[in-house]
Structure 1
Amino acid sequence: MMQIAIIDYGLGNLRSVMKGLEKAGAHAAITCDAHEIAAADGLVLPGVGAFHEGMDQLGPLKDLIIESTRDVPLLGICLGMQMLMETSEEHGIHQGLGLVPGRVTRFPRVYGFKVPHMGWNSLAIEQPDNPLLSGLGPAEYVYFVHSYYADTLPEYTLTSTRYICPFASAVQNGNAYGVQFHPEKSGAVGLRMLENFIGMI
């Protein structure tokens, strides 16, 4: 049976992610065991919190995740997506996993806009043929909670969203996929994206 490993490194809403994956039809397990992660058919890297804390908490799993993603698909969610990038400026400059070229930066201060960006916002589909986006319409709404965003090139940007400035709300490089929003909290659209991810495994 196909097995998805939800990587447990001490940060993130792991149970809700697991429920979302199970609703989408996957057999998923929350684990920090290197052998289980290495044997999985797909990986999910969730996360809520600060970038440097996430990278520190990953510890020895960093190299395993990078190595595993050469062979199996990985989906980073929220902080998990940001950790796919090369660097973040949150609380100083910190190194990420480097699976997707780009950096994580804070939303600029603009009068009338609150940070964090919290609530429902739309997705502009930048790469409509990408399998992660199969079945989505041109302006689907998903649920966000974040103060920092991924700044990357158009070739890695699957969807973009505008809040204060345009930003990459879903990214891909090779087997590494990431979504800044929470698919497990995004109703039918989020469920469809989880189903699409499962279908790539």
Structure 2
Amino acid sequence: MRFWALLSIFISCFVSAPLLAADANIDFGQQKSEEKANKAMSEVQRLSGNIQALKNRVITLNKDLRVMEEALLFPTNTQFSVFVAVEGGQFFTLESVKLKIDDKMVSTHLYSAKQREALNRGGVQKLFMTNLSEGKHEVTAFFTGIGPNGRAYKRAAELTLEKGKASQYLELAITDDRARQEPVFSINQW
């Protein structure tokens, strides 16, 4: 019995020791695949950073191009811009605006609920921009919407202006007249 015990100990020490050492040396590709995965991940992160930097450069270039385009198309000495603003908005709900310059219809705009809400909160909308020669011009704006007591409401405002050498800005203003409880439509020069 003692012989068999000694033999089993001898065999287990002699045979299993090299097998354990051999098992530790076998990689099965796990270490290499982890290295490859780490290398691939760092490459993806580097490319992602490069792509983000390119996006930022494209956005900056796009802004610069728009500014240059506006400067070329609308030089400051002939530039003419018209804006729409609403103060109050309690007595009038704006649905559309039509703009005539020198008896020529140049712009129309239908307002969505979100646009009306933005105007009522103090926003200003650029309605029209063009080049306008120096001299006398007549501007007419037509406002359509819902007035007091839910009635359909259509009003016009006119302004004759003298365009000089500098750029010109007009505001189509809709304000509340609380004393008369009705809206007031005007065209103001800035």
Length-normalised TM-score, structure 1: 0.24
Q: Which has the higher strand share?
A: 2
Higher percent of residues as helix: 2
